Amino acid sequence: MKNTTLIFGAVYGLVSVILGAFGAHALKKVISLDKLQSFETGVRYQMYGAFFLLIVGYILKFETSAERWISILMIGGIFLFSMSIYLLAFSEVASIPSKIVGPITPLGGLLMIISWAMLIFYFIKNKF
């Protein structure tokens, strides 16, 4: 699980840099300013999650199920949160149904929040 966490952290970081550059240069003419700002929010939180996974990948030993769930929830949360925002950013130009994709964003955010909370409890329990 340690290696998986580090790989996801690195991949999410790489993809967020690529998407950030894409958004800054190519999307200005394609989507509205509001949608571009939402897209940038997805990129930003994806990078935050990438840093989280890289740090957690080095700190945790992944010996318990709680340690594994910290990583799993963040990996899934980042995917759901950021990918749904990316899809919503293109909803006007690609006919993506925002009523279906929209509720996925807060679910991803909730998974990320739970992951952070679990990490806090891990630190308190282990007196890190």
Give yes or no for residue 65 having a pLDDT over 70. Answer: yes
Question: What is the spatial distance between Cα 70 and Cα 118, in angstroms, rounded to a whole number?
Answer: 6
Angle of CA points 125, 127, 128, to nearest 5°: 115
> Which residues are within 8 A (CB) of 44 and not within 5 positions of it... i.e. 6 or more apart?
16
- Give me the percent of the chain exceeding a pLDDT of 90: 66
Q: Is pTM, for the whole model, over 0.75?
A: yes
How high is the pLDDT of residue 128?
62
Give yes or no for residue 97 having a pLDDT over 90. Answer: no
The domain spans of the chain are 2-126
Q: How confident is the model at residue 90 (pLDDT cuts 50, 70, 90)?
A: confident
